[in-house]
Every structure is written in structure tokens, then in C-alpha cells.
Amino acid sequence: MELEPSIDGQLAAVESYLRAHFPIQGYSLHGPGHWERVKLNGLYLAQKTGADPLVVRLFATFHDCQRVNESTDPGHGARGAQMALSLRSKLPIDDDQMDLLVEACDGHTDICFHDNVTIGTCWDSDRLDLDRVGIRPDPGRLNTEAAKLLASYEWDFRRRLVKPQR
Ligand SMILES: [Fe+2]
């Protein structure tokens, strides 16, 4: 992978590399479409929560990039963190941001809450995309007020579209 001069170029190169090396090729519930929605969720939330948008964006790309199946796939978060560490020299972040990225990827499946707002925002941005599999994001399992509000608005809106209320 070439080192791109701009941050956006570096991030795009990393995203492209991870798409090409994603173990589940073809459509995946946890693949690049999901990564893109998590990124959009996360960048929106970061404006409200004060989370670090670079860490949020990288979490979106790395957290599921080493999944090998569509089920629980134990350890996939830790493998995503390892992938981030293996590409450390390509990532436009400092050591503190890298620590956050690794912890966010590593813990995203097994831990619900975190005191660090960037990690909490990362996890919320992932959980807000649960409705792609018909699961309503549970506000009680979200870290940030912004995500709780978005979850209730989004779900009510989509539910009305699918099944109009009488
Ligand atoms: Fe995910």
C-alpha cells in the first residue's frame, strides 16, 4: 500500500486495502456497506459528543474487518485491532489515538459501556446499525445521549415506513 500525502487519501487507501482483504468476499451483513453506515453514524455522533472523528472513522473500518462469518465470531474485534496495529505506519493518528482505536475494536462485542467518549461513540455508531438485521437498537445499551435520541427517532421513522400506524 502506498502512503498517500493527505489524511483523506491515507484513510481511503486503508479502507480500500481492508475491503480487498476482507475474509468474507461478496455481500456481508458485516462488510463494507456496514462499515460505511457505522462511519456515517459515528461522524454524526462525534459532532454531538466531542468524540475524536479520526478514531471513529477508523473504528468503522477496522472493527469488523477480520470477521470470518456472520455469526458471533468470537475474537473478531481483537483480530480487527491486530490488523490496525499491523497497519500502524499507514494510519494518520498519534499513539493516544491508536490506543483508543485498539481498545474500541477489541472491546466492541463484549463490553457495553465505556467512560471514554470516543470509545463510547464508536460502540454506539456500530449498535445504531443493528436495525439492518431487524434489531431495534436498545437505548439502554447505548453510551451517548445523542445516540439514544437518534435511535428512538430513527426506529420510529423506519417503523412507520414499514408498518403504518393506525
Ligand atoms: Fe459492526
Question: Distance, CA 88 to ligand 1 centroid (Å)?
Answer: 21
81-113 residue pLDDT tens? 999 999 999 999 999 999 999 999 999 999 999
Query: Three cell numbers at 155?
Result: 426506529
Question: Distance, CA 69 to ligand 1 centroid (Å)?
Answer: 12
Query: Three cell numbers at 158?
Result: 423506519
Question: Distance, CA 42 to ligand 1 centroid (Å)?
Answer: 12
For range 20-33, the mean pLDDT? 96
Query: Three cell numbers at 59?
Result: 473504528
- Tell me what the pLDDT averaged over the chain comes to: 92
124-137 residue pLDDT tens? 999 999 988 888 89
Q: What is the pLDDT of residue 162?
A: 52
Write the CA distances from 82 to 47, 55, 97, integer angstroms. Answer: 28, 15, 15
